[in-house]
Structure 1
């Protein structure tokens, strides 16, 4: 990382060490600490250009912040707002960018309803000129989209059918939003139903946003896996069995060495996620690596790992929840296989 990115990492880490409280955030009305989110936005962790009200940070800087948020499992709408901002930027609609991006940079939560799950579809009336990037057409949308990040409380709602990007007023009668209870309490998900919902077409949808989503999620997974390893090593140095710290047993040393290799190779894969293939590969590898590290964390901690007072079970739940987010590893393996045979 560059000196500037290292400084950003240290700043975000210091802020989270002082103010992140996972359990308090989980119990908050929207599932995150609004004051902490405002501080993160002031630091400038969102990838929004300066002429649109942002700090000028790029995606690389956002990934640094996401890795730190993953490290502490801090609930915050950074991932959802990043995807919405990226979708706007690549849409080519300057009017929408000028109107919405300053609000997102200022901390307004934005959500992107993207049909990842099998069976999710967004349908709309045909457009007269779909090939024109900045063409705007109002029309009704019909959809039920599951697992939308921060979708139940977002003030800015974007929807895509895989062809075009639309802006939808979340307060209109045709939009129903429901919080979706999940095993991972640190991740806020929602189901959004659109019934004849009025929408404004902003431009064409780009698969680059999907690749950005995977890269961003991988950065978060790497941060969480690295912290899970750190906590496990710390615990094995203090847990005594047979008169010795269990971390001194050779068999456990080997297991933690394997965890270290998984974390570092996952970090390499995450940082190499720059296109369709590398992003899909990173999603598969980082998801599986995090699940393995989290499972080892549970086993090496023993019974304390499954108590509410300890964070180990939260890392385990985050690992398995994030593995399914934006498509399961098998979904992306199948997608890569189909692409290879075209």
Structure 2
């Protein structure tokens, strides 16, 4: 497969890099870590209403730009480089794909224009595996009631809209699961921000106490939502892998800049052969990951363009598993090496490597760690061979 960025994709990349270099520099990231709110509302206004980043995947019929997932991945790579703290990832990689794949024109017409205009940010409340789903849905008159909880929802405390997965009582496995679009001001919903390792990305616990939802809020066919949720999470894993790729590249860039300016024994540290070898090893990991990520992004683009074509589904699951496993290990390796090659100041608060190390460790577990994804890949390949 031959892959090269188009002129439009390069324009997206370069403009995002210029903007984030100022709006999400080290000072801004650290300020966001200490902010009580989960994100900077002014920064989100710029992203949504001036740059139109949330509109990338949204079709033109709903006020979006109608571009593909590759363009979004190009953008997410730069967000990962600069540790952007905003609900962009959850809105574009979790909520938007779920709505696009749901084949529910009424809900798409209601929510996608607001997402495209930057007036609403949304996320998905769903565990990685169906067996872990704790929320339940019960019929109540003409509608339903939601009970239970979701323990680790990315950007869940500040989202305007939650796509909530819930299970019919008595069902098991992947059966009996539905998903509902629920505004976060609905009575009975309690959201609690969690204290986590990565302060640049917030998680929340969502408790559901007899939350009323109507039939019109049901995103998918009743009891048949798991295939949609699984595909959405794999697409999001590819987006996260693009972020991790950007973070790994920035960890290498920080290391190269520091070793070039630091001198020891009358010469630049970067001139030592041992340092060159370790930096070359980092670059090798990054380039291998880059290939996996862009291939996976192309598969996700095709899957979304074909409205969830079952023929592409197996390729999507395999590509997402490969990209996320490689990206998680590469980011963590490069972040750890960056700390080591910064020497005695590498772990101090004043320098940035620790920020990337924390993001790398947290992202490694988010949407499946490498071991989990390799198990999924093995299952998919062995199933195809059977």
Normalised-by-shorter TM-score class: over 0.9
Aligned partner (choices 50, 59, 63) of residue 69 of structure 2:
59
1:72 aligns with 2:85: no
> How big is the shift at 1:240?
1.1
User: Which residue of 2 is the match for residue 102 of structure 1?
Assistant: 113
**Hey, which bits of structure 1, 4+ residues long, moved more than 4 A?**
none
> What is the correspondence of 1:128-207 to structure 2 with a 5 Å cutoff?
138-161=143-166, 163-199=177-213, 200-204=217-221, 205=225, 206=228, 207=230
Distance in 1 (CA, whole Å) between partners of 2:147 and 2:380 is 29
> How big is the shift at 1:126?
7.1
1:121 aligns with 2:140: no
Query: How many residue pairs end up in the alignment?
Result: 333
Distance in 2 (CA, whole Å) between partners of 1:280 and 1:239 is 39
> What is the correspondence of 1:6-45 to structure 2 with a 5 Å cutoff?
6-20=10-24, 21-41=28-48, 42-45=50-53
The runs of 5 or more residues in structure 2 that have no matched partner are 167-173, 300-315
Q: Secondary structure at the match of 2:180?
A: strand
User: Which residue of 1 is the match for residue 97 of structure 2?
Assistant: 86
Distance in 2 (CA, whole Å) between partners of 1:268 and 1:15 is 26
User: Which residue of 2 is the match for residue 228 of structure 1?
Assistant: 251
Distance in 2 (CA, whole Å) between partners of 1:339 and 1:64 is 27
TM-score (norm 1): 0.92
> How big is the shift at 1:188?
1.3
Q: Secondary structure at the match of 1:272?
A: helix
User: Which residue of 2 is the match for residue 211 of structure 1?
Assistant: 234
Q: 1:110-146 deviations in whole A, cap 9, x for unaligned?
A: 111011277443322379xxxxxxxxx7311223212
Distance in 2 (CA, whole Å) between partners of 1:119 and 1:160 is 11
Q: Secondary structure at the match of 1:306?
A: coil
> How big is the shift at 1:76?
1.2
Distance in 2 (CA, whole Å) between partners of 1:126 and 1:270 is 42
Q: Secondary structure at the match of 1:102?
A: helix
Distance in 2 (CA, whole Å) between partners of 1:210 and 1:138 is 27
User: Which residue of 2 is the match for residue 132 of structure 1?
Assistant: none
Q: 1:24 to 1:271 in 2, by over 3 A?
A: same
The runs of 5 or more residues in structure 1 that have no matched partner are 128-136
User: Which residue of 1 is the match for residue 292 of structure 2?
Assistant: 269
Contact between 2:52 and 2:117, CA under 8 Å: does it hold in 1? no
Contact between 1:115 and 1:145, CA under 8 Å: does it hold in 2? yes
Distance in 2 (CA, whole Å) between partners of 1:30 and 1:55 is 29
> What is the correspondence of 1:186-335 to structure 2 with a 5 Å cutoff?
186-199=200-213, 200-204=217-221, 205=225, 206=228, 207-273=230-296, 274=299, 275-335=316-376
Q: 1:235-275 deviations in whole A, cap 9, x for unaligned?
A: 11011111111110001101100000111111111111121
Q: 1:281 to 1:126 in 2, by over 3 A?
A: farther
Q: Secondary structure at the match of 1:203?
A: coil
Distance in 1 (CA, whole Å) between partners of 2:69 and 2:179 is 20
> How big is the shift at 1:69?
0.7
> How big is the shift at 1:340?
4.1
- Between 113-122 and 257-266, report the one with greater CA deviation: 113-122
Contact between 2:128 and 2:233, CA under 8 Å: does it hold in 1? no
- Between 306-315 and 317-326, report the one with greater CA deviation: 306-315
